[in-house]
Structure 1
């Protein structure tokens, strides 16, 4: 559990920097399109770098890349806080998010290597809790520290980055000779047959949609609040509560074995999230929007846990996570510009909420369409014979034959 402090602290840096940069952009009179580019260019860099990271990462090189990307991300976070012009900020965001891509991809490879077989769900739940709480701390501290100036923000960033490095250096790594969750998958609960490739795709749909919906709220909503003279602490508090709800629920979902490889929670949570955003669109005032954003954490917590779990429990795990993180960038970029375009087409304040609600419904329909595809299996990675020791290799349950869960599930 101690190593989970690392993604928590790194996301503290990320969201402290992102909130401060974008709230400051709103104060300086940057347009919505300029704010979208500041938030979006980093996602493009994150997307491309994640694919590369997924191809090169192994259990053996993950720790070295983790240390290097931690140091680089800390330095670039401070640089982003100091830059105030549009073009230099674009360049700095690209470099920062390329380094962050290596950090989060390498951490997840490192995390699987440190997890004993059978412990993947709990580890992923802790990971979801950790990075979500770190994000919440970033939003809250940025909103609180913003008025104290760049010195306070930069000092906080440096202190947090240094703490990550200390935690990584102090961690006692699991011996490579021991079997880990990087080579061994968890069996689905209830003795279902092994999982097929479609659940991996469902996870990719989930993570893309969650980022498509969440990133505009994180990147554009603070600027909207700044333009309407809402104090920076308030949107920072709302986004912090959203991430806290996401983290606690994502951790709690790890205990719901019957929710894995099931359609019922997909339907309920997608529809509930769409209704929340629809209400915010119909009445786009701060209290209603804030309540909807906080409650949306229930959907995103489930989505992020499921996406990481499915990717980490099947096939080429580092590559799957690389695709996951690529879709984080792709969903973020698409969401930012879809919302920006949608607000021009929808003649009503709060058009971003309508665009996000529609995206949730389209995603739900797409995930159901996967159920009609032929069944095919994801290949498992080769495991050294010295580590197998008779351990079974698990794969995922069939979405097409998945019955609606009974009341006990």
Structure 2
């Protein structure tokens, strides 16, 4: 469990920096489109870097990549805090997210190698809890400390990055000769057998979760700034959203009967769409805040399931690379779709309408994928291996 402090602390710095940069952009009078570009350019870089690193990551090289990306992410995070120019900020965001891609992809490869066979769900649940709580602390501390200036936020970013680096250096690794979750399929009593088609379902889940979540994290703080809401309040709301996401994502790790089944997909997508519909009908701060917090139940399940399915079938590092690529693609698509929705409907409530429709469309695709006949039992990972073989 101690190892999970690393993604928690890294996400602390990510959301601390991201909130500060975007709230500051709103205060400086940047347009909604400019804020969208600041939030999206890093996601494009993250998407490309994730695909490439997923091709080369192994259990043996993951630790070296992890250490190098920790240093790079820390330095670039500080640089983003100190820059006020729109053009330079775009360039720094791209470089920062390349290093973040290397960090989160390599950490998941490292994490699987440190996990004993049969413990994958527990590890993924802890990972979901860790990075979500780190994000919650980042949002809350950024909203609270934003008034102290960029120097205080920069110092905090350096200190957190240093702790991550020291923790990774001091960690006692499991010998490579011992089997791990990287070579073993996880099964528990009460769960269905591993089904490689759910790798595709997981990819839909992570894309949709980011499509919905990123506009709320990137555009909503700027909306609050333009309407005179104190920075602490949106920071508090977003931190509660991430906290609920983490706790729920950790909790569903124990629900073996939910794995490789359609019912949880239907219930959670429909519930999320209803919440977003309420926010669209009444896009005032109290309603928006309640809906954003409640959506943590959907994103907590989505992120756990996406990482679990990708980590339990076929070429794990490549599956996770596609996962993380879809994080970038979903963020990019969600930001600009939300902007389009706002312009079409004439208010920021259009963002919620677009996100709700996205949940319903994704649910339809996932149900179709989950209903297809699984690959032959003799080769349960055949589909994922066929998809990943093209990268060889």
TM-score by length of 2: 0.95
Kindly state the Cα deviation for residue 371 of structure 1 after the two structures are TM-superposed.
3.8
Equivalent residues in 2 for 1:239-388, closer than 5 Å: 239-376=238-375
Kindly state the Cα deviation for residue 198 of structure 1 after the two structures are TM-superposed.
1.3
CA contact (8 A) 1:47 1:330 kept: yes
Cα deviations by residue, 1:256-292 (Å, 9 ceiling, x for unpaired) = 0001111111111101111111101111110110000
CA contact (8 A) 1:197 1:377 kept: no
Question: Residue 254 of structure 2 aligns to a residue in which SS?
Answer: coil
Q: Distance in 2 between matches of 1:375 and 1:301?
A: 26
Q: Distance in 1 between matches of 2:178 and 2:107?
A: 19
Question: Residue 261 of structure 1 aligns to a residue in which SS?
Answer: coil
Q: Distance in 2 between matches of 1:114 and 1:59?
A: 9
Kindly state the Cα deviation for residue 346 of structure 1 after the two structures are TM-superposed.
1.8
Kindly state the Cα deviation for residue 190 of structure 1 after the two structures are TM-superposed.
3.2
Please say which of residues 182-191 and 74-83 is displaced more in the overlay: 182-191
Q: Distance in 2 between matches of 1:379 and 1:163?
A: 46
Question: Residue 190 of structure 2 aligns to a residue in which SS?
Answer: helix
Match of 2:82 in 1: 82
Cα deviations by residue, 1:4-44 (Å, 9 ceiling, x for unpaired) = 00000000010001000000000000000000000000000
Kindly state the Cα deviation for residue 343 of structure 1 after the two structures are TM-superposed.
1.1
Q: Distance in 2 between matches of 1:378 and 1:292?
A: 42
Q: Distance in 1 between matches of 2:286 and 2:153?
A: 28
CA contact (8 A) 1:146 1:153 kept: yes
Question: Residue 275 of structure 1 aligns to a residue in which SS?
Answer: helix
Match of 1:163 in 2: 163
CA contact (8 A) 1:212 1:336 kept: yes
Per the alignment, do residues 395 and 92 of structure 1 end up closer, same or farther by CA in structure 2, a change over 3 Å counting? same
Per the alignment, do residues 377 and 63 of structure 1 end up closer, same or farther by CA in structure 2, a change over 3 Å counting? farther
Gaps of 5+ in 1: 381-393, 397-409
Match of 1:121 in 2: 121
Q: Distance in 1 between matches of 2:266 and 2:316?
A: 27
Per the alignment, do residues 223 and 314 of structure 1 end up closer, same or farther by CA in structure 2, a change over 3 Å counting? same
Match of 1:134 in 2: 134
CA contact (8 A) 1:196 1:377 kept: no
Kindly state the Cα deviation for residue 370 of structure 1 after the two structures are TM-superposed.
1.4
Per the alignment, do residues 191 and 155 of structure 1 end up closer, same or farther by CA in structure 2, a change over 3 Å counting? closer
Match of 1:402 in 2: none
Question: Residue 196 of structure 1 aligns to a residue in which SS?
Answer: coil
CA contact (8 A) 1:185 1:395 kept: no
Please say which of residues 344-353 and 204-213 is displaced more in the overlay: 344-353
CA contact (8 A) 1:339 1:355 kept: yes
Kindly state the Cα deviation for residue 377 of structure 1 after the two structures are TM-superposed.
5.7
Q: Distance in 1 between matches of 2:191 and 2:333?
A: 39
Q: Distance in 2 between matches of 1:226 and 1:191?
A: 46
Question: Residue 29 of structure 2 aligns to a residue in which SS?
Answer: coil
Kindly state the Cα deviation for residue 3 of structure 1 after the two structures are TM-superposed.
0.3
How many residue pairs get aligned? The number is 383
Kindly state the Cα deviation for residue 195 of structure 1 after the two structures are TM-superposed.
2.7
Kindly state the Cα deviation for residue 204 of structure 1 after the two structures are TM-superposed.
0.3
Kindly state the Cα deviation for residue 152 of structure 1 after the two structures are TM-superposed.
0.5
CA contact (8 A) 1:38 1:90 kept: yes
Please say which of residues 343-352 and 358-367 is displaced more in the overlay: 343-352
Kindly state the Cα deviation for residue 90 of structure 1 after the two structures are TM-superposed.
0.1
Confirm or deny that 1:179 pairs with 2:174: no
Match of 1:226 in 2: 225
TM-score by length of 1: 0.91
Match of 1:407 in 2: none
Kindly state the Cα deviation for residue 347 of structure 1 after the two structures are TM-superposed.
3.6
Per the alignment, do residues 280 and 178 of structure 1 end up closer, same or farther by CA in structure 2, a change over 3 Å counting? same
Q: Distance in 1 between matches of 2:77 and 2:254?
A: 35
Q: Distance in 2 between matches of 1:226 and 1:307?
A: 33
CA contact (8 A) 1:315 1:378 kept: no
Question: Residue 36 of structure 2 aligns to a residue in which SS?
Answer: helix
Match of 1:51 in 2: 51
Match of 1:38 in 2: 38
Question: Residue 301 of structure 2 aligns to a residue in which SS?
Answer: helix
Q: Distance in 2 between matches of 1:157 and 1:290?
A: 27
Per the alignment, do residues 109 and 45 of structure 1 end up closer, same or farther by CA in structure 2, a change over 3 Å counting? same
Kindly state the Cα deviation for residue 188 of structure 1 after the two structures are TM-superposed.
5.1
CA contact (8 A) 2:191 2:260 kept: no
